[in-house]
Amino acid sequence: MSTQNNLNNSLPLKQLSDRQNGLNNYVNNSADSTVPHEVFLDRTIYKFKIILVGNSSVGKTSLINRYMGFGFEENYPCTINADFKIKSLSINEVIGAELTVWDTCGQEKYKALTRQYFKDAHGVILLYDVTNEDSFKGLTSWLAEIRNNSNKDVSIVLVGNKIDLNDRKITKEVASEFAIKNGLFYFETSSKDGINIDMPFENLAKDIVKKIKENADNEPNETVEQKLERIKERNIIERKREKEVKCC
């Protein structure tokens, strides 16, 4: 794989760091969000649909299981259809999130099936294997699939997995440059060693909250009650879909 000789190694990483720090500051100072999915006492709880995509064998199932606290296994069967798990997290003192995290199939022949899960997704984690050049080359195609089949405000995080392995092919600088070019946050993880497992999910949730806040500010004619009712109806539809997947 060719790399640019004139790549400024520190610039992409600094730009990503500045952007991610800015996101943290924005969310921490935005506790007055007025578009909750549910309100429990003094905490606003949002419900977000998160999709993991990427080539087969990049470690999507391993990353989800690690994040859910199930540990790591060397060998997982290939995901054929899709499965989901749910986890709650805290955004700040008054905002929380419940993430429904979907694991999808990365095989080319099942891409048409995977596309249906992009609908109504709030966020996507785009995963590749740092030791596999083909999985990195496939990111452009996956990114097009995401943007062609998701809503325009979907949040996307790029994740380079398997950094515990010694035969790395894709440098952090090259991946960071790709992330900046495409407007993505970028993180590196190891599902095996448990490195940076929470960061992609937490930053994705924060970015979604940020966009909800911005969208609410841009819709002054919709009351809080109208927002709640609209989101409630959407959640009912999503829950029905989840039950259908679980029972089949």
Which domains does the chain possess? 10-27+37-215 (3.40.50.300)
- Give percent of the chain above pLDDT 90: 46
pLDDT higher than 60, residue 245: no
Q: Are 75 and 112 in contact (CB under 8 A)?
A: no
Range with top average pLDDT, 51-65, 73-87, 161-175, 201-215: 161-175
pTM (2 d.p.): 0.72
Token pair belonging to 237: 């539809």
- Give percent of the chain above pLDDT 70: 62
66-113 pLDDT, tens digit each: 999 988 777 655 555 567 899 999 888 888 899 999 988 755 555 666
Non-local CB neighbours of 181 within 8 Å, separated by 6+ positions: none
**Tokens 């259809």 — which residue?**
81
CA-CA distance, 63 to 155, in Å (whole number)? Answer: 18
